[in-house]
Amino acid sequence: MLRYLKRMNSELYGKTDIKSMTKPELTDYIIKMGYPKFRAAQIYDWIHKKTVTGFSEMTNVPAGMRDVLEEKTVLPAFTVLARLKSEKGDTEKFLFGLGDGNAIESVLMRYKHGNSVCISSQVGCRMGCKFCASTLGGLVRNLNASEMLEQVYAIQRISGERVSNVVVMGSGEPMDNFDNFVRFFTLLTDPDGLNISGRNITVSTCGLVPEIRKLAELDLSLTLAVSLHASDDTERKKIMPVANKYSIAEILDACREYFSKTGRRVSFEYSLIAGENDSAESAKKLALLLKGMGAHVNLIPVNPVKERDFKRSNVTNILNFQEILEKNGINATIRREMGADIDAACGQLRRSYILGKEKREE
C-alpha cells in the first residue's frame, strides 16, 4: 500500500493539494510549516469529517494560519453546472465544474439499502470503448484523489443525505489512474474521515491486467467489477480497443488471482448491444468462460449514444441472455435502469455541456 501512496500528485491548480494527503502526510506538512502537530488533526477533521471547502470555515484554526493555508494550498471546491433529477426522484446527476474549467459528472442513486454515489476517475478517458460517450474527446487529465473525494463529499453536503456506497464507474478508467485511486480509497475508508467501508466501494475496469494484479496484491477488500462486454476476443476487439492489448483469458486469469488473494468475488459487466454481443451463442460462450468463478454478471442494456449507431438489444434477447447464463449456473441480473431520462449514461451530460460550450464560444 505504502509503495503506491508514496507517489502523489501534490499539486492542484498550481497549489499544494492538502486534501489528497493522508493524516500522517498532512501532519508532516503542517509540522514542516512550523505549526504544532494538533493543528493537522484539526484541519484533517475539517476537511474529511466536516467536509468544508474553505479555510474560513475552520473556526478553531488561528486566522493567521488560515491565511497561510489559503495562500499555499488548495481545497477543491466544485461549482454545480447542472443538477438533474430523474422523474421518479431516485437518481440525481451532477455536472461539477472544477477549478481549472473542466467538468465532470457524478450520480447519486437512492436505493432502499442506502445512497450510492457513482464518481468519475478522470476528465475524459483514453480507452476508446466504441459505445461510450466519456471517451469521445479522449483523456484530458487524471483526477487527483481530492477531486474524487469531493464528488462524494459535495453530493452528501448538497443532498443533506448520507452516502453509504461508492462506485467508481463514472467517466474515466480508474486503473489508468491507479495511484490516485488507491489514495482516494485510503482516504474514503479512513475512520477519521467519512469511514465508508471498503466492502461498500466498487471499482470498475475495462480490464487492465497489470493493475488488476496490483490491486489483488493490495488486498483492499473492495469489490472489483470488470467490463467484459463480449464472450470472445474477436467480438471484444470490435467494441473495445483495450482487447487488442489484453485477451479475455489474461483478464480472467488476473480475476482468479484477485479472488484467491482477496477472497472477494469479481463481478462482470456486460452491455448488451443489438446484433453485436447479444446472441444465444454469446451467452453460452460467456457462461463457459465464467464457469466455476462464482462470478456475478450485470447485464446492462446499452444506452445509445448520439455519436454512435449502437442499438440496445430487445427485451426478448435480454431475458433470453439472462436465462441462458442462469441455466448454466452463472448468476446474472439486469441492471435496473435509473435515470435514463436524465442522460445517466457515462459521459453524456458532460458531452452535451462541452458541445454547448463550443457552440456558445463560436
Q: Please, are residues 168 and 203 in contact by the beta-carbon 8 Å criterion?
A: yes
Among residues 27, 205, 231, 317, the one that binds ligand SAH under rule CB under 6 A: 205
Catalytic residue flag (residue 118) = no
Q: Please, are residues 21 and 145 in contact by the beta-carbon 8 Å criterion?
A: no
Among residues 177, 186, 267, 303, the one that binds ligand SAH under rule CB under 6 A: 303
Contact window for ligand SAH (CB under 6 A) among 27-35, 49-57, 198-206, 354-362: 198-206
In the sheet with 103-111, reading across from the earlier edge strand, the strands are 79-85, 91-97, 103-111, 114-118, 165-168, 201-205, 223-227, 267-272, 296-301, 331-334
The answer to whether residue 104 forms part of the interface with ligand SAH (CB under 6 A) is no
What is the grid cell recorded at 215? 490491486
Among residues 47, 69, 220, 305, the one that binds ligand SAH under rule CB under 6 A: 305
Contact window for ligand SAH (CB under 6 A) among 35-43, 136-144, 179-187, 295-303: 295-303
Among residues 17, 235, 269, 276, the one that binds ligand SAH under rule CB under 6 A: 269
The answer to whether residue 222 forms part of the interface with ligand SAH (CB under 6 A) is no
Cα angle: 75, vertex 161, 101; to 5 degrees: 35
Site string for ligand SAH, 328-347 (x = CB under 6 A): -----------------xx-
Which residues, 127 to 166, sit near ligand SAH by CB under 6 A?
127, 129, 131-132
Nearest residue (CB) to ligand SAH, 22 versus 271: 271
How many residues bind ligand SAH (CB under 6 A)? The answer is: 18
Instruction: Please tell me which residue in 125, 129, 206, 346 is annotated as part of the active site.
Output: 346
DSSP-assigned beta bridge partners for residue 12: 15
Catalytic residue flag (residue 346) = yes
Among residues 52, 169, 222, 224, the one that binds ligand SAH under rule CB under 6 A: 169
d(CA 31, CA 28): 5
Burial label, 284 (beta-carbon count in 10 A; 0-12, 13-18, 19+): middle
Would the CA dihedral through 96, 98, 104, 106 be positive or negative? negative
Contact window for ligand SAH (CB under 6 A) among 13-21, 25-33, 125-133, 251-259: 125-133
Nearest residue (CB) to ligand SAH, 222 versus 345: 345
Where do the DSSP E strands lie in 20-130?
79-85, 91-97, 103-111, 114-118, 122-124
C-beta of 234: minimal distance to ligand SAH in Å?
Answer: 18
Q: Which amino acid is at 302?
A: V
Nearest residue (CB) to ligand SAH, 145 versus 203: 203
Contact window for ligand SAH (CB under 6 A) among 102-110, 147-155, 204-212, 252-260: 204-212
d(CA 259, CA 39): 41
Distance of CA 251 to the CA centre of its chain: 19
Among residues 204, 282, 313, 322, the one that binds ligand SAH under rule CB under 6 A: 204
Q: Kindly give the residue spans of alpha helices, DSSP state H, lying in the chain.
A: 2-6, 23-32, 37-48, 63-72, 145-159, 178-188, 209-218, 233-239, 248-262, 280-290, 315-327, 348-361
The answer to whether residue 173 forms part of the interface with ligand SAH (CB under 6 A) is yes
Nearest residue (CB) to ligand SAH, 65 versus 283: 283
Nearest residue (CB) to ligand SAH, 18 versus 345: 345
Cα–Cα distances (Å) from 220 to 113, 122, 201, 258, 295, in that order, read 23, 21, 10, 10, 19
Contact residues toward ligand SAH (CB under 6 A) are: 127, 129, 131-132, 169, 173, 204-206, 227, 269, 271, 300, 302-303, 305, 345-346
Catalytic residues: 105, 346
